[in-house]
Structure 1
Amino acid sequence: MRPWVTAFAAIVAREALRFIHQRERFLAALVRPLVWLLVFAAGFRAALGLSIIPPYQTYITYETYIVPGLCGMILLFNGMQSSLSLVYDREMGSMRLLLTAPLPRWFLLVSKLFGATFISILQVYAFLAIAAAFGIDMAPGGYLAALPALLLAGLMLGALGLALSSFIKQLENFAGVMNFVIFPMFFLSSALYPLWKMAESSPLLRDICAVNPFTHAVELIRFALYLEWNLPALGWTALATLGFLALALRGYDPARGLIRRRR
């Protein structure tokens, strides 16, 4: 097991070093959710009244409601950002060196996925600390209980980005595809407004939001922050993670790539 552990630690350390050398990436990951929390929430507070819905036991402010969705935003953007680096590594040739290591390809890709997810979770907790400084805090044990939910949600969104990177061959095309994935997933979810509020304007949009994997990831985080488990959200998030990961492994299969070239 020593070569496996060494390879896993090396890949995670490489992701950490890349993150340390890109400090603007850390700031950008915090600026986006903080703008929503401190600026947009002030305007939406009066327009979007919130009823008492699980896991909340009383009426809450709009800022409190959107915190789990903004945690999901950080995971979503970082998952896509780490996948963008995969496309860059592939163009520069370093990705080829990684995948030729004498270890299973799935293990190398999953290790890279875990490394990116760990970085995303650190950024989420930094955001939660800033939110608490502004008076938006959760249950004391919720921060620890949210860790498994953040890990699973981060793996799901990272696996989605990994799958996209396996089928996109040029760096220029990946940025455009990210916009077609990130914004629909984020806005067609329960990150900014509850599903019952969406149903008032359009039942069809509500149904689309209900099948969005990002919605289930956000709800998983939301319930975990209040020391509760949303089993349907847990099941759908885990299922989406396995599906996206299987798609990514298929895309990075060299035999299938050879078949495409022959055709």
Structure 2
Amino acid sequence: MNAYLTALRAIVLREALRFVHQRERFIAALVRPLVWLVVFAAGFRAALGLSITPPYQTYITYEIYIVPGLCGMILLFNGMQSALSLVFDREMGSMRVLLISPLPRWWLLICRLIGASAISILQVYTFLLIAGLFGITLPWHGYLLVLPVLLLGGIMLGALGLALSSLIKQLENFAGVMNFVIFPMFFLSSALYPLWKMAESSALLRDICALNPFTHAVEAIRFALYGQLNASALALTALWALIFIGLAVWGYDPARGMMKRKG
């Protein structure tokens, strides 16, 4: 157990030190959601008023609705950025040193996911603090209850990035793959529009969004921010997290996964 905890502490500390030395990454992670909150939400406010739907108890403005989706955006982009750095580590050789340790490979990957998720959660809370300065206030207990949901969502999206990184040989290729994953996942979800509004224009589009794992993570965050539990969204997020972790472990297994095929 001491060896497992030592590995966890070392990997999380390494992720934290890398984050500290890459301050532009922290700023960039906040600029994206703030642009949506300040610029796009202000433009869509008059056109996209939202009725009373759970977890909201009254009519809300558009900028209030998209805050959970923007929190998910931070988790999504950081999950992919963490996987991108993993591809870089693999090319430079430091990843190989990590994977030949006597600890199980699945534990090393989970430690990496926890470290990346911790950084993402810090950025989410910073974003929520800045959003509060713009008048976006949430129930005080929502800030506490959303923490485990953010951790689960960060692990799920980070595991997706790890699974994709096992398929990519070169760093340049992964940067292109990220665009084909991030933007469809974000726009084909309930982050920007509720599913019932999408159903008004296209039932097929609504069904696609309902199948999107990112949608379930966003909805779990949305309910948690208001002190409520969306059991189905939380269960589906956990299920997708297990699936993506399984794919990542298989992909980085030199005996069976994509690492074997590359060899």
Q: Provide the C-alpha distance between the structure 1 equivalents of 2:197 and 2:191, rounded to a whole number of angstroms.
A: 12
Match of 2:83 in 1: 83
Q: Partner residue of 1:50?
A: 50
Q: CA deviation at 1:260?
A: 2.4
Q: Give me the whole-angstrom Cα distance separating, in 2, the residues matched to 1:258 and 1:121.
A: 30
Partner of 2:228: 228
Q: What secondary structure sits across from 2:140 in the alignment?
A: coil
Q: Distance in 1 between matches of 2:195 and 2:46?
A: 18
Aligned residues: 262
The SS at the match of 1:33 is helix
1:181 and 2:171 equivalent?
A: no
Unaligned runs of 5+ in 1: none
Name 2:30's counterpart in structure 1: 30
Matched residue, 1:139:
139
Note closer, same or farther for the CA distance 1:94–1:53 as it changes in structure 2 (3 Å cut): same
Change (3 A) 1:258 1:152: closer
* Cα distance per residue 1:124-179 (max 9 Å; x no partner): 00000000111101001000000011011101000000100111111010011000
Moved over 4 A (4+): none
TM-score normalized by the length of structure 1: 0.98
* 2:208 is the counterpart of 1:242: no
Superposed CA RMSD in Å reads: 1.0
- Identity score, percent: 77
SS of 1:51's equivalent?
coil
Distance 1:121 1:232 in 2: 22
Q: Gaps spanning 5+ residues in structure 2: where?
A: none
What is the identity, as a one-letter code, of the residue corresponding to 2:138?
M
TM-score, normalised via structure 2 length:
0.98
- Residues 122-137 of structure 1 mapped to structure 2, 5 A cutoff: 122-137=122-137
Aligned to 2:157: 157
Give the Cα separation in 1 of the matches to 2:54 and 2:31: 29
- Provide Cα deviations, 1:53-76, integer angstroms capped at 9, x if missing partner: 100010011111000000000000
